[in-house]
Structure 1
Amino acid sequence: MPIKSVKSLVDAARTEITIIPTKQVIAMMNDPDVMLVDIRDIRELDRDGRIPGAFHAPRGMLEFWVDPQSPYHKPALSTGKKMIFFCASAWRSALTVKTLQDMGVTNIFDLEGGFTAWRAAGGPIDNPEPRG
């Protein structure tokens, strides 16, 4: 039996989550009741830059960081704020939002198009420092 493709999982997740358009998120980024959560790998942040003020939570740790019963729990992810998750292209973040919804987390959203769409829409970016 063939495995399900990642694309089919992402497509299924997108039918069950709320996706917020990039321009709308750019307008919300300074709202104190909104937290942008960057789930990209640290190498992506170092290479491509960061959205100012976004909280970095690596994809592999999210379930552990969100769960108050986990020894790895991060209180920043339990503030009750609206959390908008993003990755490079909104595939990983769609799966993330679906998984966290399944855990019972509420008030969570996916950034349409991810960091790539953010950059294309002219959203602010803190660029990486040149190494040298």
Structure 2
Amino acid sequence: MSTPQPLGVEGFLAEARSELDRVSPARADELRRRGALLVDIRPHHDRLAEGEVPGSVVVERIVLEWRLDPNGAHRIPGFTSDTPVVVLCNEGYASSLAARDLRRIGLARATDLVGGFRAWAAAGLPVRPGGTPAIT
């Protein structure tokens, strides 16, 4: 039996992104205003220093799949398997991997924000002070 060749992080990221219809900050804002769930997976210190997207839900990456499994016993309320979900991190790398994983557990409309929170803020979109406690 042969061992598969490692993809390396760039290949792993490209593979994840090939499964996503990634969105721009403007499109993410439109989706947010139409009821999409924006999920912020950034560490507390980044959110505290840079702010957060109004209406976003802060979920620790370590529990993301458990809190967003549409049929899971530990899911947060307020969404279904049909809800559009936009995951954001600092710059749009970790969020691509997270969104791919959410699609695999049943959120077919999960994607991520190109450029992450920093692209959102640079586009002049609304930002609230950071520090919201994460869902753990």
Q: Closer, same or farther in 2 for the Cα pair 1:26/1:104, shift >3 Å?
A: closer
Letter in 1 for 2:60: P
Alignment check: 8 A CA contact 1:42 1:58 kept? no
What's the CA shift string for 1:67-101, capped at 9, x where partnerless? 35655322235374211111111111100111111
**Alignment: residue pair count:** 128
Superposed, which structure 2 residues align to 1:1-132 within 5 Å? 4-31=7-34, 33-67=35-69, 70-78=72-80, 80-128=82-130
Identity over aligned pairs, percent = 27
Coordinate RMSD, CA, aligned = 2.3
Letter in 1 for 2:64: L
Q: Closer, same or farther in 2 for the Cα pair 1:14/1:28, shift >3 Å?
A: same
Equivalent position of 2:134 in the other structure: none
Q: Closer, same or farther in 2 for the Cα pair 1:70/1:34, shift >3 Å?
A: closer
Higher strand share: 1
Letter in 2 for 1:89: E
Return 51-60 or 6-15, whichever deviates more. Answer: 6-15
Alignment check: 8 A CA contact 2:42 2:90 kept? yes
Q: Closer, same or farther in 2 for the Cα pair 1:5/1:75, shift >3 Å?
A: same
Q: Which runs of 4+ in 1 moved over 6 A?
A: none
Letter in 1 for 2:74: Y
What's the CA shift string for 1:84-119, capped at 9, x where partnerless? 111111111100111111222222121111101111
TM-score with structure 2 setting the length: 0.80
Return 6-15 or 110-119, whichever deviates more. Answer: 6-15
Uncovered stretches (5+) of structure 2, i.e. residues with no partner: 132-136
Distance 1:27 1:49 in 2: 19
C-alpha deviation, 1:47, in angstroms:
1.6
What's the CA shift string for 1:47-75, capped at 9, x where partnerless? 21101111111111111112356553222
TM-score with structure 1 setting the length: 0.82
